[in-house]
């Protein structure tokens, strides 16, 4: 009897500082504690801000200790090799990828399409948008537009910083103009608002 173990793969894209790492850590915590998932996180940081630092700061833990089952690595060479290595050596239930703030998630998907036989189930592509950056959206900032276009789920993040509901409505309307089909949700990764709804949406 052959047992096929499927590895899920989640891309969390978004512009520099939109809250990718903050969200991923919250998702990781929720998925490990309440869904008992074995996780790996791949960070494609072109800067020096690694997930390790964030974890250390947020939880006072190092990466190996985090949630008892999470490893992180950098995609130094290329994604397919990294994913195959992860599968062989660690076999997580879920791999979460944080591309750099200017990565194009569509290209990542193309890379994944080219990989056969490693049992990847690609989850809806998540793109974070910093709610305070409506000006960048209105200026059609190219990376932001690209990331929003390639999203299945757009998360308007940092809503804790916005007190005017009509401003958030404007943000949502502008995003809808760029991406007709995506689900759009409002969250605060930092304040942990609506994280459970994101999990429900992705893992229903
Ligand atoms: N007020 C507020 N701040 C947030 C929220 N989410 C993230 N931040 C802050 O925004 C800053 C950037 O968050 P990160 O999670 O590092 O963002 P990132 O997208 O991973 O950043 P890069 O990897 O550098 O592109 C940090 O200071 C976070 O604490 C939020 O929901 N509300
Ligand atoms: Mg980050």
What value does the mean pLDDT of the chain take? Answer: 82
Residue boundaries of the structural domains of the chain: 7-203
Q: State yes or no: pLDDT of 151 exceeds 80.
A: yes
CB of 139 sitting under 6 A from ligand 1? no
Does ligand 1 have an atom closer than 6 angstroms to the CB of 101?
A: yes
149 vs 64, which has greater pLDDT?
149
**Does residue 133 have its Cβ closer than 6 Å to ligand 1?**
no
Helix, strand, coil percent values for the chain (each to nearest 5): 45, 20, 35
Of the two residues 10 and 73, the one the predictor is more confident about is 10
Pocket test for ligand 1, best of 22, 28, 98 (most atoms within 8 A of CB): 22
Give me ligand 2 centre to Cα 174, in Å.
Answer: 24
pLDDT given for residue 49 in this prediction = 43
Q: Is 157 in the pocket of ligand 1 (CB under 6 A)?
A: yes
Query: How does DSSP classify residue 31?
Result: H
Residue 5: per-residue pLDDT:
58
Question: Of ligand 1's atoms, which has the minimum distance to the CA of residue 16?
Answer: 25
Long-range contacts of 109-112 (CB under 8 A, 24+ apart): 109/11, 109/150, 111/78, 111/79, 111/80, 112/9, 112/79, 112/80
Assigned CATH topology for domain 7-203: Rossmann fold (3.40.50)
Distance of CA 14 from the midpoint of ligand 2 (Å)? 9
């Amino acid at each position: 009897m052959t047992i096929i173990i499927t590895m899920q793969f989640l891309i969390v894209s978004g512009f520099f500082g939109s809250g990718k790492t903050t969200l991923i850590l919250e998702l990781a915590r929720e998925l490990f504690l309440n869904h008992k998932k074995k996780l790996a996180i791949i960070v494609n940081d072109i800067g020096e801000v690694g997930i390790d630092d964030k974890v250390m700061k947020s939880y006072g833990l190092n990466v190996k200790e985090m949630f008892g089952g999470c490893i992180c690595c950098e995609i130094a060479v290329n994604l397919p090799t990294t994913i195959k290595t992860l599968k062989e050596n660690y076999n997580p239930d879920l791999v979460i990828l944080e591309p750099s703030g200017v990565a194009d998630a569509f290209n990542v998907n193309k890379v994944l399409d080219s990989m056969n036989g490693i049992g990847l189930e690609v989850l809806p592509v998540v793109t974070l948008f910093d709610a305070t950056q409506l000006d960048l959206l209105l200026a059609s900032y190219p990376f932001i537009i690209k990331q929003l276009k390639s999203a299945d789920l757009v998360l308007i993040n940092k809503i804790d910083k916005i007190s005017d509901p009509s401003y958030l409505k404007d943000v949502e309307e502008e995003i809808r103009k760029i991406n007709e089909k995506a689900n759009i949700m409002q969250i605060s990764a930092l304040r942990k608002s609506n994280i459970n709804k994101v999990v429900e949406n992705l893992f229903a």
